[in-house]
Amino acid sequence: MEWLNETIAKSHYPDVEIHLTEWNTSPSSRDEMHDRLPAAAYIVKSNLDCIGLTNSLAFWTFTDIFEEKGGASSIFHGGFGMINFQGLVKPSYHAYRMLHELGNEKLYKDDYLFVSKDASTGNVVALAYNYPVEYEDAVPFGTDKRESGTSKKLDFKLTGLDANTMFEIEILDKDHGNIHNFWESMGKPEPPTREEIKVMKAYANTMKTEFVKADKNGTLKINHEITPWSLVLIKQVN
Residue spans of the domains in the chain: they are 1-236
> How far is it, in rounded angstroms, from Cα 9 to Cα 28?
32
Q: Who wins on pLDDT, 123 or 141? A: 123
> What residue type is assigned to position 175 of the chain?
D
Average pLDDT, the chain: 94
Mean pLDDT, range 2-25, rounded to an integer: 95
Q: Where are the beta strands (DSSP E) in the chain?
A: 19-23, 56-59, 105-109, 113-117, 124-129, 152-158, 166-172, 208-213, 220-226, 231-236
Q: State residue 146's pLDDT score.
A: 84
The 10s digit of each residue's pLDDT in 85-119 is 999 999 999 999 999 999 999 999 999 999 999 99
CATH superfamily of 1-236: Glycosyl hydrolase domain; family 39 (2.60.40.1500)
What is the number of other CB atoms lying within 10 angstroms of the CB of residue 209? 11
Q: State residue 139's pLDDT score.
A: 82
- CB–CB of 126/114 below 8 Å? yes
Mean pLDDT, range 181-197, rounded to an integer: 95
pLDDT band at 66 (very low <50, low <70, confident <90, very high): confident
The 10s digit of each residue's pLDDT in 126-135 is 999 999 999 8
- DSSP-derived letter for residue 90 is P
Q: State residue 72's pLDDT score.
A: 82
Decide: helix, strand or coil at residue 166. strand
pLDDT band at 155 (very low <50, low <70, confident <90, very high): very high
pLDDT band at 1 (very low <50, low <70, confident <90, very high): very high
Mean pLDDT, range 193-220, rounded to an integer: 96
Q: State residue 141's pLDDT score.
A: 84
In this model, does residue 35 exceed pLDDT 80?
yes
